Amino acid sequence: MLSHPAKFPSRRLAAARRGGAFALSYGLAPLMRPLLQNELLVGSVREPLLALARTAGLTAKLSLRQGDSAVTVFVAGSPRSTAISTRVGACFPLALGSSGAAILASLPESEAKRILDAAPAEAWRYQKRADAERRVGECRRDGYCFDTGSYQPQLHTLSAPLLVERHGLTASITLLGFSQDFAPPMRAELVREIRFTAGGCAHLLESQSENIHHGEH
């Protein structure tokens, strides 16, 4: 039990409006902005990623940059009984996988190089630096990239960057599967689906981002 009552800033955190509604004060809005942005992000991509998982028959996830790592913030499970899955909150160095490469591809080259230079030793257990650089280059050139086991040999992934300039958002959308899931007969269709989904999610976020900006005033 606290021995002293908690102390809060004396300025008002919310201003009353007609009808019993409240608006965030100017001082609190910057603190709430990251939470509101993540809530808007997940809410916007939920249905498109669920549809992508159903169409592809694979697990789909949304990863967000956090420092030099990629954090999974939403997962749409595969409809198959046997499939590779992941969990919300999973965190990996950006040097690993296609999801990290798609995020690195969205950054200036100097920043991407710094992150690869600082990557932990375990990032190179199943790959060489040239493999990570190749994925980043592919994503910059083609708008997507594959990974064939840089994190775990049996885990193969396909990712596309999610770019929303108004948010300053650095994120990626990924499909997870086994090597046979990305065999040439299926690969081209999966690439079309993930690029279509990433583009659609970016459009939704751009159009809805005014919700956050209006809430700050």
Residue 26 within a domain: no
3 part of a folded domain: no
Q: What's the CA gap between 31 and 140, in Å, rounded?
A: 33
pLDDT, tens only, 168-197? 678 999 999 999 999 988 999 999 999 999
Sign of torsion over alpha carbons 42, 53, 164, 157: positive
| 32 lies in some domain | no
Question: 141 pLDDT exceeds 90?
Answer: yes
214, pLDDT greater than 50: no
Each residue's pLDDT tens digit, 27-66: 434 433 454 466 777 888 899 999 999 999 999 999 999 9
Task: Please indicate, yes or no, if residue 9 is contained in any of the structural domains.
Answer: no
Q: How far apart are CA 12 and CA 28, in angstroms?
A: 9
- CATH number (domain holding residue 93): 3.30.450.40
CB 44 within 8 Å of CB 205:
yes
Residue 24 domain-assigned? no
6 domain residue, yes or no: no
Which of helix, strand or coil describes residue 136? helix
Task: Give residue 114's pLDDT band: very low, low, confident or very high (50, 70, 90).
Answer: very high
* DSSP per-residue string spanning 3-29: SS-----SS-SEEE-GGG-EEE-TTTH
Residue type, 175: L
Total of domains in the chain: 1
Burial class from Cβ neighbours inside 10 Å (0-12, 13-18, 19+) for residue 26 reads exposed
Of all residues in the chain, what percent carry a pLDDT higher than 70?
76
Contact 90, 147 (CB under 8 A): no
Query: What is the domain extent for residue 135?
Result: 45-209
Does residue 204 lie within any of the structural domains? yes
Residue 137 confidence (pLDDT): 97
Does residue 17 lie within any of the structural domains?
no
pLDDT value for 43: 82
